[in-house]
């Protein structure tokens, strides 16, 4: 079996490996790259030779992702099993609490505001990618989130609980590959946690992914999205946008603020 040898900071790879194991939910879930071996600062993964995406493979990914989300999480903002402490990210530490903890949040908006938006505002302000006015716009959205003004239902299969998220599901973390004579989409490089399923779907749309309409059709085939989800795509993209503003600066800061203005009330 061909392998891909990956090296990185040990803590980063340990978090990735914890997420990959948690996302591997078995038959029916979204395919996840297999870990063959690992050690301090390295991990061997199954090599995924590239293949051309197909409508069938995309729809199958959507159905699998819906079932992965529905596998659930103990609480909003929880980490994968066995993980302790903050998550190392290039945008700075991402706060998560332990997998088996109840967590401090009873509603999605609280979690999204306090874990996935507010921590990054001062960092983006400090690197100059947003100005004071932009910071106020983002804080206003965070206030509305925390107050519950922007809460909404999970997809049907997830129900009232937290979804089991990939957490960094941009198009580059979906690998189209050939397996057993058929094309399949396999997930790599997660930042897995408990959250709202629409956040993963919005991430897919942010920078583009092959055959997104087919992915969404497959998803809704087994787990219909709550009404109005199209109007919430930008809201769920804010966390990835503000992280990019922190990491890369440039146009990501103004773009983050522009999207946030839609939800500031």
Q: Which of 168, 189, 200, 214 is catalytic?
A: 168
Could you read off the pLDDT of 156-185 as tens digits, one per residue?
999 999 999 999 999 999 999 998 889 999
Q: What number of other Cβ atoms are within 10 A of residue 227's Cβ? A: 9
Q: Is the pLDDT of residue 87 over 70?
A: yes
Residue 168 designated active-site: yes
Could you read off the pLDDT of 32-47 as tens digits, one per residue?
999 999 999 999 999 9
pTM value? Answer: 0.95
Q: Is the pLDDT of residue 90 over 80?
A: no
Q: List C-alpha distances in Å: 5 to 21, 168, 202, 264.
A: 18, 21, 30, 44
């Amino acid at each position: 079996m061909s392998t891909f040898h990956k090296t990185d900071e040990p803590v980063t790879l340990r978090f990735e490996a914890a997420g990959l194991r948690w996302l591997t939910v078995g038959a029916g879930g979204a395919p996840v790259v297999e870990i063959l071996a690992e050690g301090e600062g390295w991990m061997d993964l199954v090599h995924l030779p590239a293949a051309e995406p197909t409508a069938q493979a995309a729809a199958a990914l959507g159905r699998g992702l819906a079932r992965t989300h529905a596998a659930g999480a103990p609480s909003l903002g929880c980490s994968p099993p066995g993980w302790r402490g903050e998550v190392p990210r290039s945008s700075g530490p991402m706060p998560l609490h332990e997998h088996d903890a109840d967590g401090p949040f009873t509603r999605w908006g609280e979690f999204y505001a306090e874990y996935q938006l507010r921590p990054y505002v001062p960092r983006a302000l400090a690197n100059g990618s947003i100005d004071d006015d932009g910071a106020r716009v983002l804080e206003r959205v965070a206030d509305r989130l925390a107050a519950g003004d922007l809460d909404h239902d999970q997809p049907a299969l997830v129900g009232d609980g937290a979804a089991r998220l990939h957490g960094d599901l941009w198009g580059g973390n979906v690998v189209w590959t050939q397996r057993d004579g058929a094309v399949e989409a396999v997930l790599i490089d997660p930042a897995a946690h408990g959250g709202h399923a629409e956040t993963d779907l919005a991430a897919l749309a942010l920078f583009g992914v092959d055959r997104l309409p087919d992915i969404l059709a497959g998803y809704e085939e087994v787990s219909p999205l709550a009404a109005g989800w199209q109007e919430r795509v930008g809201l769920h993209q804010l966390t990835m946008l503000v992280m990019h503003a922190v990491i890369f600066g440039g146009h990501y800061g103004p773009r983050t603020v522009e999207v946030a203005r839609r939800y500031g009330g």
